[in-house]
Amino acid sequence: MKKECSINRDLLPLYLEGQVSTETANYIRDHLDTCDECRAELETLSAPSKIDYIAAEEVDFGDSDAVALKIIKHNRRRKIVLNIIKLLILLLIILGIYDFAKPTTISYGTSEIYSKQDMDDAIDLIKERIYNIEGIVSDTKSKIYSISYTNDDVCQQELNEHKGQAIAKYGVPYSECIVFKTEMRPPLFGDKHHVLNSYLKYSWGWTLGRIDDGDWEVITFGGGYTF
Ligand SMILES: [Zn+2]
């Protein structure tokens, strides 16, 4: 083998990968123009492998330079696409971890009626109800972003609206109502009943009632509240 050919053969794989300088590429191309054997070698090297079958379909094997260029371009495009996909996956993972790790914000607002203990009892019940929305994958849990006390006026309005609801059950009306707003996301991969979308944040209002100093119970909850 001629010395030039030997050098050329060593460089061909790099040339195909597009990893040589313009000068070297020119040198290789000049040599390929004059050397049938090296051109044959290039075609062998750039013959369709399993990985490159898409490139093989796209290229015309009539012209070695064109083959090499098309494969280089194809590989470059594939690398870019793969990198973008990798980046997106990474971003989703980071966002997911961030979302998952954020603690629930609880705001008690101000109240003349309820103590922090009254509110905490109600909050515990709301949390329990939200966490009890079962996911399709059993160990996934709802995510609660925030729980906020509304205000005393809203509680009073809700009491007026709902106090009679206890009469059928207990013979007496609710004596107190407490109202919270929550931001939450259902368990990942959907809830078992296919009612909620895991990828949406839900803003729900919660109205709880109790009789005298009994335990809070949930009277009503859901979106579309006006307070
Ligand atoms: Zn040669």
pLDDT digits (tens, 9 = 90+) for 188-211: 777 777 788 887 889 999 999 999
pLDDT at 148 over 90: yes
Which of 66, 97, 128 marks a domain boundary?
97
Using CA atoms, how far apart are residues 124 and 192, in angstroms rounded to an integer? 23
Is residue 179, in this structure, part of any structural domain at all? Answer: yes
Clarify whether residues 173 and 117 are in a common domain. Answer: yes
Q: What is the pLDDT of residue 187?
A: 84
pTM of the model: 0.61
Clarify whether residues 85 and 7 are in a common domain. Answer: yes
pLDDT at 123 over 90: yes
> In angstroms, what is the span from residue 2 Cα to ligand 1's centroid?
7
The one-letter amino acid code at 22 reads T
Are 85 and 92 in contact by the 8 Å Cβ rule? The answer is no
> In angstroms, what is the span from residue 19 Cα to ligand 1's centroid?
20
Is residue 227, in this structure, part of any structural domain at all? Answer: no
CA-wise closest residue to 4 among 25, 35, 45, 36:
35
| Average of per-residue pLDDT values in the chain | 87
Clarify whether residues 92 and 201 are in a common domain. Answer: no
Sheet containing 143-149: give its strands across: 105-107, 143-149, 176-185, 202-210, 217-222
Clarify whether residues 107 and 188 are in a common domain. Answer: yes
> In angstroms, what is the span from residue 17 Cα to ligand 1's centroid?
19
For a pLDDT cut of 90, what percent of the chain falls above it?
A: 54
Is residue 30, in this structure, part of any structural domain at all? Answer: yes
Clarify whether residues 120 and 218 are in a common domain. Answer: yes
Using CA atoms, how far apart are residues 74 and 218, in angstroms rounded to an integer? 61
pLDDT bucket at 50, cuts 50 / 70 / 90: very low
Clarify whether residues 73 and 111 are in a common domain. Answer: no
What kind and span of H or E run contains 73? helix 64-101
> In angstroms, what is the span from residue 52 Cα to ligand 1's centroid?
25
pLDDT bucket at 169, cuts 50 / 70 / 90: very high
Is residue 193, in this structure, part of any structural domain at all? Answer: yes
Clarify whether residues 217 and 131 are in a common domain. Answer: yes
Domain count, the chain: 2
Beta strand 176-185 with 143-149: parallel, antiparallel or unpaired? Answer: antiparallel
pLDDT at 83 over 90: yes
Structural domain span for residue 165: 102-222
